[in-house]
A = this chain, B = another copy of it.
Amino acid sequence: MHKNKGPVYYSEYLLLDKLLNCQEPLSRKYQTDSNPECHDETLFIIVHQAFELWFKQILHELNSIISDFSLPYLPDESLGKINQRLKRIIEIQSLLVPQLTILETMTPMDFLEFRDLLIPASGFQSVQFREIEIKLGLNTKERFNVDREFFTGRLNTSDKNKIETTENEKSLFHLLESWLERLPLTDHKNFNFWNKYQDAVEKMLNQDEMTLKNNLASLTEKEKNIQLTNLENTRLTFNSLFDEKSHRELVSTKKRRLSQKALLNALFILLYRHEPYLTLPFEILNNLMTIDENFTHWRYRHALLAQRMLGNKIGTGGSSGHNYLKNAADNNKIFLDLFNLSTYVIARSYLPTLPAELKAALNFKN
Mark A residues whose CB is within 8 Å of B: 1-11, 13-16, 18-24, 26-27, 30, 35, 38-39, 42-43, 45-46, 48-50, 52-54, 56-57, 60, 64, 76-77, 79-81, 84, 87-88, 91-92, 94-95, 98-99, 101-102, 105, 107-110, 112-123, 125-128, 153, 156, 159, 204, 207-208, 210-211, 214-215, 218-220, 223, 226-227, 230-231, 233-234, 237, 271, 273-277, 279-280, 293, 304, 307-314, 318, 320, 339-351, 363
Give the contacting residue for A120; candidates B8, B43, B52; CB below 8 A: B8
Nearest chain-B residue to A113 (Cβ)? B347
With A16-B52, A347-B113 in contact, do A342 and B80 touch (Cβ < 8 Å)?
Answer: no
Q: How many protomers of this protein does the assembly include?
A: 4
With A4-B116, A10-B121, A156-B9 in contact, do A342 and B308 touch (Cβ < 8 Å)?
Answer: yes
Query: What is the bound-complex CA distance between A30 and B6, given in angstroms?
Result: 12
Whether the pair A276, B273 counts as a contact (CB closer than 8 A) is no
Whether the pair B342, A307 counts as a contact (CB closer than 8 A) is yes
Query: What is the bound-complex CA distance between A91 and B48, given in angstroms?
Result: 15
Whether the pair A98, B109 counts as a contact (CB closer than 8 A) is no
Whether the pair B275, A80 counts as a contact (CB closer than 8 A) is yes
Query: What is the bound-complex CA distance between A87 and B102, given in angstroms?
Result: 9
Whether the pair A345, B311 counts as a contact (CB closer than 8 A) is yes
With A11-B159, A15-B22 in contact, do A343 and B87 touch (Cβ < 8 Å)?
Answer: no
Query: What is the bound-complex CA distance between A226 and B42, given in angstroms?
Result: 31
Give the contacting residue for A211; candidates B20, B108, B119, B275; CB below 8 A: B119
A21 cross-chain contacts in B, Cβ below 8 A: 18
With A91-B101, A211-B3 in contact, do A311 and B49 touch (Cβ < 8 Å)?
Answer: no
Give the contacting residue for A35; candidates B1, B113, B119; CB below 8 A: B1
A126 cross-chain contacts in B, Cβ below 8 A: 10
- In addition to A2-B26, A2-B30, A16-B52, 8 A-B residue pairs with Cβ atoms within 8 Å of each other are A1-B204, A10-B121, A13-B45, A112-B345, A113-B349, A230-B314, A310-B342, A311-B342
